[in-house]
Amino acid sequence: QVQLVESGGGLVQAGASLRLSCAASGRTFSRYAMGWFRQAPGKDREFVARISRSGGNTYYADSVKGRFAISRDNAKNTVYLQMNSLNPDDTAVYYCAADDQPFYTSDPRAYDYWGQGTQVTVSS
């Protein structure tokens, strides 16, 4: 089992930045690729970013490319999502997730463990 706890969400104005953190406990963190997803009211859960087990490879949704950055610190069992130039379309609950398979996927069904989510609200 892997337990994931997100933090760092909040209410910000358009153009601001936030950094989300996801702390993992349980099995060896470095065995998992990690992803960030988000879900806005009335919408499906949407892929945001993914980082490989070592951190050497990252992937982004087109909607956040160039504005968001995913990173991880395996010594601290933590994955981060730096979000810059936020706009109201980024408003959602953000979830981190762990995938025990190394191959890239943006399908949330492929991820094995999920956090409880953290709310990000961007006002215009």
111 contact partners, CB below 8 Å, separation of at least 6: 35, 97, 98, 99
- Give the model's pLDDT for residue 121: 98
- d(CA 16, CA 37) in angstroms, rounded, equals 20
- d(CA 118, CA 46) in angstroms, rounded, equals 14
Mean pLDDT throughout 91-120? 96
DSSP state of 69: E
- d(CA 77, CA 1) in angstroms, rounded, equals 14
Q: What is the pLDDT of residues 7-51, one digit of tens each?
A: 999 999 999 999 999 999 976 899 999 999 999 999 999 999 999
Q: Mean pLDDT for the chain?
A: 96
Binned at pLDDT 50, 70 and 90, residue 1 comes out as confident
Mean pLDDT throughout 74-99? 97
Give the number of other Cβ atoms within 10 Å of residue 14's Cβ. 13
